Amino acid sequence: MLTGAGRVAPRARRRTPLGRTRIEDLGLLGTIRNHLRSYFGGRRVPPVVRAVRADSLTYLSEDALKDLYDAVARIEAAGTSGILIEAGCALGGSAIVIATAKARARALFVYDTFGMIPAPSERDGADVHARYEVIARGESTGIGGNRYYGYEDDLLSKVTENFRRHGVPVAQHAVHLVKGLFQDTLHVDQPVALAHLDGDWYESVTTCLQRITPRLVPGGVIVVDDYDQWSGCRRAVDDYFSDKRDRFAFVHRARLQVVRRC
């Protein structure tokens, strides 16, 4: 549904009402451990990660893209069944990383408006509404200072070409680009092994969680791109999983990863 709202400087952590532990706090030790492993272990960075960043196709950091690549690789190594989903793809950078890491025959469905981002709702905070106003006025810059992709006339064709240029043409790699709002297009009727959610606002993320999570296989992963970035996304995740935490593990790496327990 959303093409991605972009990134701003990190905000200070906030406490949730009544001192309730936030999902991100549950993974604090994991975050520290992973940073130490990265620092001392010299994690190998797949060439596709550096390539899509050099080509300004994604806002995601090198660590976030590496984590995404590794999550897909673990699913392939374990023989986990199910399709892959990305909801919100910007210029296709993170989806290209997923497509490169997966088995060629495994289906990847990429959902996006391939155009302007829809407006947020009253469930989103002031940060979200301020960001949307900049986009709506036509004043947003894009990745790496380029033109904001939401202003492109034919973003779908551009993303398709980006896949080809980076060695994963969609027709030959079981990649399906689906244009439209999430509530209109995201209908999941088969098992899901991994989903990467970059929906930004509350309603978009909630729609994704409601339609994808029931189909997530044991050991399957939902990577939430904007949990630490946008208040609406954080609220949507906290609300949806408030009564489901015993069925999922919440691992905070470069991005929040929600794993269905076996």
Separation between Cα atoms, residue 223 and residue 195, nearest integer Å: 6
Is the CB of residue 102 less than 8 Å from the CB of residue 108? yes
Domain ranges of the chain: 46-260
**pTM beyond 0.75:** yes
Which tokens is 180 given?
């439209």
Nearest to 116 by CA among 232, 202, 230, 2: 2
CA distance 78 to 76: 5
Q: Give per-residue pLDDT as tens, 186-245.
A: 999 999 999 999 999 999 999 999 999 999 999 999 999 999 999 999 999 999 999 999
What residues contact 90, with CB distance under 8 A and at least 6 apart?
3, 4, 57, 58, 59, 143, 149, 198
Tens-digit pLDDT profile for residues 107-163: 999 999 999 999 999 999 999 999 999 999 999 999 999 999 999 999 999 999 999
**Cα separation of 137 and 149, whole Å?**
14
- Identify the band that residue 14 occupies on the pLDDT scale cut at 50, 70 and 90: very low
> Identity (one letter) of the amino acid at 48?
V
- The CATH label, of 3.40.50.280, 3.20.130.10, 3.40.50.150, 3.50.50.60, for the domain at 46-260 is 3.40.50.150
